[in-house]
Chains A and B, each alone.
Chain A
Amino acid sequence: MKQLFQHINLAACLLLSIGIVGAAEDTWEKFPPGYSIEKITTPVGVQFGVSGLAMDRHDNLFVCTREGQVWKFSDPNWLLVAEGLHEPLGILVEESTGHLLVVQRPEFTRLIDENGDGKADFLQTISDDWGLTDNYHEYAFGLVHDKDGNYYGTLNTSLSWPGWAGSDRWDIARVHDSKMGRAAPYRGWSFQISPQGTFTPWSAGLRSPAGLGINNSGDIFYTDNQGDWNASSSLHQIVRGRFHGHPSSLMDHPDFAGKDLNSISTEDYHKMWTRPAVWLPHGELANSPGEPTFDKTQGKFGPFAGQFFIGDQTMSNLMRVSLEKVGGEYQGAVWNFIRPLECGVIRQVFDSQGRMYVGQTGRGWRSAGKDVFGLRRITWDGSTVPMEMKNIRLTQKGFRIVFTHPVDEAVFENPENFQVESWGYLYHANYGSPKVDEKKLPVDIRRAPNNPAVVIIDLPLETEKVYKFTLSGIQSQTGVPLTNSIGYYTLNRLKAPR
């Protein structure tokens, strides 16, 4: 929390600086040309901490809130669909029935409108097969579904350290003096729920997995928040049986039944750990990331189809992630996309026109910006292509940065325009990790021979490192300046030699 307030103060100072000195090249505020933002008026007088967004086939937007309500937005009208839910943090429209599905702290629920007035009359429990105490940290997040009709969600760890929790009654399965533990079954797990309602624990080792997304290959991802056993905020692929790093959840793993989790060394947990696909560097890009939303708009939202957008509750920004598979596993790059959005961002959904609705809440963790909650809609104008690093791809000798426009040749006259540094993180029970083994790297830069939008950067490659690319003076051949000039690539695996 202390770090959070330090960050907010820093952000406030930076914003103030922007106001004083005007638009320096690398301002904290980032807003790509071609995009516009509308603030949607939420129901008047209602606390509206958006915690889930879903869209039906008629472009009706459904919103669940941390305050336990579900609303339908048929622009510009709002209808209260349900209330009295227990902090729902995910919502979907059931394709086969049109019913709403929500995941709330105690259960996965179907909301059924029986009399056709648009409001839920029957709240059907689909599954409640996970443990729950009255520990505030025991959130349940969701939701995505796969092509077979299975649903997926994630369960937060318990806040177990008595020094923070204010009680020792949740002090169960803290490992190596970590802050979070497991006060009830399956805390720290992802789960699958079948169309028949069968609950299956899916992967373990999650810490504070505040959102899920699924790509067009059917691969499911979640974000985790920096904290104990998680060096920095992060994006992970969920695979059945995988261990994502936080050991408390292993108390419910059959292979660890009856074992003392504190007798297992950090080194042994490290060997079991599947690293995140992408680190979201703490304090620079993210503090508390929300759900990854896959851009399935086929270009209606700009030139980033097939990428993920992730919001952050603390920094009130929207990030963009480009993934590639190397050695059979996802890894890739992340950038800021828009910053700030005046309130924490944790949920996004696209409508059929490719407009992105952004769900916002800042209560409790605070967030950059003036609002405590909000709903915004981001629209691309359909023609103005911002100058951005569209993706970063690993090569045998370094990286290829693909820009959205051909790059102005003048940039190559000064190698200092491409600064690259790398670092690693520690895997341990401590709260977060400093950057370790930081290096400023020598680079060899050139334009790709057959593609003026591609820059090739050769440099020393090491696995298990984050590579930070800080570009300056970059513009397109038509004079469009680069909006977001810093990118981060997580290198877990090297390309196999040819």
Chain B
Amino acid sequence: MHKTSIILSVLGLMAALGCELAIAPMAQAQPANPYHLKPSGQPMVIRSFLKDGPARSINVGFPEGIHLSFDAQVPRVALAWTGDFLDIGPDRGYGNANDRGGRPAVILGSPVSVGDLGFPFSHSGKEPSHIEFLGYRIHPTVTFYYKFDGAISVEHTVSPASPGQGLTYHFKISGATDALSFRLNAAQVNYHSDKGQQRGSHLLLSSDEARDFSIHVFPRKN
């Protein structure tokens, strides 16, 4: 069914049921379709299934017009896109009394690469193990917390890169005793960091450098 038809059906049904009209669940200015989310003022953080994305997706929308999906299963930025943020209607059943919802939300904008190669960190040249997601902060910044190898803790703040359509990751890593590697697909993205040495798809950092560093990631324009 066409989206407009769905909306009209929902409104008609709700009116028939004597219900108040549904409005968006987020307390921010909204576009006409209440389920098409568009952040304004502050970042919008919303968990849902995501079409062609992770089941444990934490979707972050920025007013600057770039958005991302952070995967809480394998902690990393898995996807990014520009334009409008998210159609959350499939998750919410569009408020329709007949719709159970629970379906993946849909990215509204245009995908841009983040050079995803899976969990990005390795320590002392070993494959990471015991990866554990610990939670996220939404105020004053959007920051994800996770750890790996049992003792290495990562604080990962995400924000729009300036200038351009990219992302900035600010990391604070504790517990490392040896060199760290952060990897992303350099064939898909350009990146630069204020610490460490870039070696193709790997950013190499000493444990001291890893305590506080930033990476700016931009999709390659082919």
Q: Give residues in A with beta carbon < 8 Å to B.
A: 44-47, 66-69, 80, 83-87, 104-107, 109-110, 114-115, 119-125, 128, 132-134, 136-137, 139, 362-366, 370-372
List chain A residues, Cβ under 8 A from B21.
Answer: 45
Least CB distance from B119 to A in Å reads: 15
- If A68-B47, A136-B100, A372-B97 touch, whether A128 touches B72 (CB-CB below 8 Å) is yes
Q: Contact check, B103 vs A122: say whether CB atoms are below 8 A apart.
A: no
Known: A47-B92, A132-B56. 12 other contacts (CB 8 A): A87-B102, A121-B139, A122-B136, A123-B135, A123-B137, A125-B134, A133-B55, A134-B55, A136-B101, A136-B102, A364-B100, A371-B17
Contact residues in B for A107 (Cβ distance below 8 Å)? 56, 72, 133
14 A-B pairs within 8 Å (CB atoms) are namely A45-B23, A66-B92, A80-B27, A86-B48, A87-B91, A87-B102, A105-B47, A106-B72, A107-B72, A115-B139, A119-B139, A120-B138, A137-B102, A366-B98
Docked Cα-Cα span, A416 to B210, in Å, equals: 83
Chain B, Cβ-Cβ closest to A113: B139
Instruction: Report the bound CA distance from A148 to B76 in whole Å.
Output: 35
Determine if A363 and B55 form an interchain contact, defined as CB atoms under 8 angstroms apart: no
Determine if B95 is an interface residue (Cβ-Cβ < 8 Å): yes
> In the assembly, what is the distance between CA of A44 and CA of B101, in Å?
22
Residues of A within 8 A of B18 (CB): 370
CB < 8 Å neighbour of A363 from B26, B56, B97: B97
Residues of A within 8 A of B73 (CB): 106, 128, 132
Chain A residue nearest to B134 in the complex (CB): A125
B46 interface residue (CB < 8 Å to A): yes
CB nearest to A367 among chain B residues: B97
- Secondary structure call for the B interface: loop
User: Count of B residues near A, CB < 8 Å?
Assistant: 42
In the assembly, what is the distance between CA of A87 and CA of B136, in Å?
17
B96 at the interface (CB under 8 A from A): yes
Contact across chains for A122 and B95 when beta carbons are under 8 A apart: no
Bound Cα distance from A107 to B104, whole angstroms: 17
Question: Smallest CB-CB separation from A42: which chain B residue?
Answer: B20
CA distance in complex: A122, B45 (Å): 12
Which of chain B's residues have a CB closer than 8 A to the CB of A137?
Answer: 102
The answer, among A106, A364, A370, for a CB contact under 8 Å with B47, is: A106
Within 8 A of A (CB), among B97-112: 97-104
Residue B32 at the chain A interface, CB threshold 8 Å:
no
